Amino acid sequence: MSKRGELVRFYNCYILRDSKIIKEDLWLRDGKIENPEQIFYVEQLEPCRNIDCKNALIAPGFIDIQINGGCGIDFSYDCENVENGIGIVAKELLAHGVTSFCPTMITSCKEKYAKILPRIKKSQGGKHGATVLGVHLEGPFISLAKKGAHLGEYIRNPDKGIESIKEVYGSLDNVVLVTLAPELPGGTEAIRGLTNMGIKVALGHSTASLAESEEAVRNGANLITHLFNAMLPFHHRDPGLVGLLASTTKGQVYYGIISDGIHTHPAALRIACRTNPKGLILVSDAIAAQGLRDGQYRIGPQAITVQDGRAYVTGTNTLCGSTTALDGCVLTFKKSIDCSLEYALEVASLHPAEALGIDDRKGKLNYGYDADLVFLNLETLKVQSTWIAGECVYAKS
């Protein structure tokens, strides 16, 4: 562990900064990225440690804003071992270059929210695991017609706006993001209420028209949950939620994409990226089966079956999350659309930070930012090590 005030210099490395990969040293102190000019010319200090990176690429740590679980653990199911489950998944994420994440709960009953939500607390990451930014609540305020893997009996309308939200969820202290369908009765009022509380709103599992979607954005929503999945397909007379990618509404609309080679065809990835490149965010949407073999698992109240790495609601052909971690999604994404390496890394780091409004401290390697880093092999993009607040929290043996 670094001592307070200890100055660390990484050399013989490439770094991602300002959408460019450059060969330059990286300086850290007290968990932050330092300006070498300040060190050389003002403080006139020498580094306490010099670390040879052996031509590794240093990028901002990945940020996963939609992940349902992993390692056999589902965040929406086990009420009795919440903290332990979060800790196990948070630790596993370090091997995938993920330094921050939003544990995601899908549509559940009120009793589940009451028991689980207060126990998923925002927390600083370290060797114990990735930083918990806060909970992403996906449902139950969604369209029954586009429920996907969500259990219909728990789906609700936010007909009393923010009061309906509070009534179902209870405390919102640990929540940073809510996915809902804007066309539902009370949807606009709920979006406005959540936004006023500083909680981000994503639109998803929805039959909303483009007009309804744009009204939601005007009232504070700034995200779309897993684009193309669980929403009306694009239609030229009313493109629905997908139309937000080319909408003239004020402000950037971000959209999650599951780039696991299963949920989204490469051509669809290319269409989205070319239409709205600044808004694209890679999400894993990983489930309990992530990293494990085929078999029987759960997502919330639903039983799921994984066959050949594909997860389905048991007995159906309904996809229900991914078994691929975020670093795998980055590799698949880059291969699918043949984009620049810089862009493939930013859609898993900078863009999610921007969408959550934390890009003043995360998602970049700018001076003064949190030293949350992933070291990658420049040729293969495989994770070599992961760093949180300037400390090495994972290293591939």
Residue 2 has pLDDT above 80, yes or no: no
Q: Looking at the DSSP assignment, which residues form a beta bridge with residue 179?
A: 138, 202
43, 128: one domain: no
Note whether residue 309 is domain-resident.
Answer: yes
What CATH code is carried by the domain that includes residue 50?
2.30.40.10
pLDDT in tens, 245-262: 999 999 999 999 999 999
Residue 3 has pLDDT above 80, yes or no: no
Give me the pLDDT at residue 159, please. 97
Predicted confidence band of residue 42 (pLDDT cuts 50, 70, 90): confident
53, 192: one domain: no
Domain span at residue 40 reads 7-60+363-395
Note whether residue 2 is domain-resident.
Answer: no
52, 70: one domain: no
147, 168: one domain: yes
Give me the pLDDT at residue 41, please. 79
296, 388: one domain: no
Mean pLDDT within 66-75: 97
225, 158: one domain: yes
Note whether residue 385 is domain-resident.
Answer: yes
Question: Amino acid letter at 251?
Answer: G
26, 45: one domain: yes
Note whether residue 345 is domain-resident.
Answer: yes
Question: Amino acid letter at 172?
Answer: L
Residue 59 has pLDDT above 80, yes or no: yes
Residue 92 has pLDDT above 80, yes or no: yes
Residue 321 has pLDDT above 70, yes or no: yes
132, 214: one domain: yes
The single-letter DSSP state of residue 177 is: E
Mean pLDDT within 13-34: 97
371, 230: one domain: no
Contact (CB, 8 A) for 261 and 269 = no
pLDDT in tens, 345-394: 999 999 999 999 999 999 999 999 999 999 999 999 999 999 999 999 99
Contact (CB, 8 A) for 171 and 117 = yes
Give me the pLDDT at residue 206, please. 98
Predicted confidence band of residue 278 (pLDDT cuts 50, 70, 90): very high
Structural Rg of the chain based on CA atoms = 21
Predicted confidence band of residue 67 (pLDDT cuts 50, 70, 90): very high
45, 131: one domain: no
285 is catalytic: yes
Q: Residues 37-53, buried b or exposed e (16+ Cβ, 10 A)? A: eebeeeeeeebeeebeb
158, 191: one domain: yes
Q: How far is CA 7 from CA 45, 53, 61, 386, in A?
A: 9, 16, 20, 19
Note whether residue 132 is domain-resident.
Answer: yes
Note whether residue 288 is domain-resident.
Answer: yes
329, 258: one domain: yes
pTM (global) more than 0.95: yes
Split into its structural domains, the chain has a count of 2
In whole angstroms, what is the distance from residue 131 CA to residue 123 CA? 6
What are the DSSP calls for 271-339, one per residue?
HHHHH-GGGEEEE--B-TTTTS-SEEEEETTEEEEEETTEEEETTS--B--BS--HHHHHHHHHHHHT-
What CATH code is carried by the domain that includes residue 211?
3.20.20.140
pLDDT in tens, 305-315: 999 999 999 99
Mean pLDDT within 92-113: 98
Say which of 74, 285, 359, 370 is annotated catalytic: 285
Give me the pLDDT at residue 331, please. 97
Give me the pLDDT at residue 1, please. 62
Give me the pLDDT at residue 45, please. 86
Note whether residue 256 is domain-resident.
Answer: yes
Residue 4 has pLDDT above 90, yes or no: no
Give me the pLDDT at residue 44, please. 83
Q: What percent of the chain has pLDDT over 70?
A: 99
**Number of neighbours of residue 293 by Cβ within 10 angstroms:** 8
Note whether residue 198 is domain-resident.
Answer: yes
pLDDT in tens, 197-254: 999 999 999 999 999 999 999 999 999 999 999 999 999 999 999 999 999 999 999 9
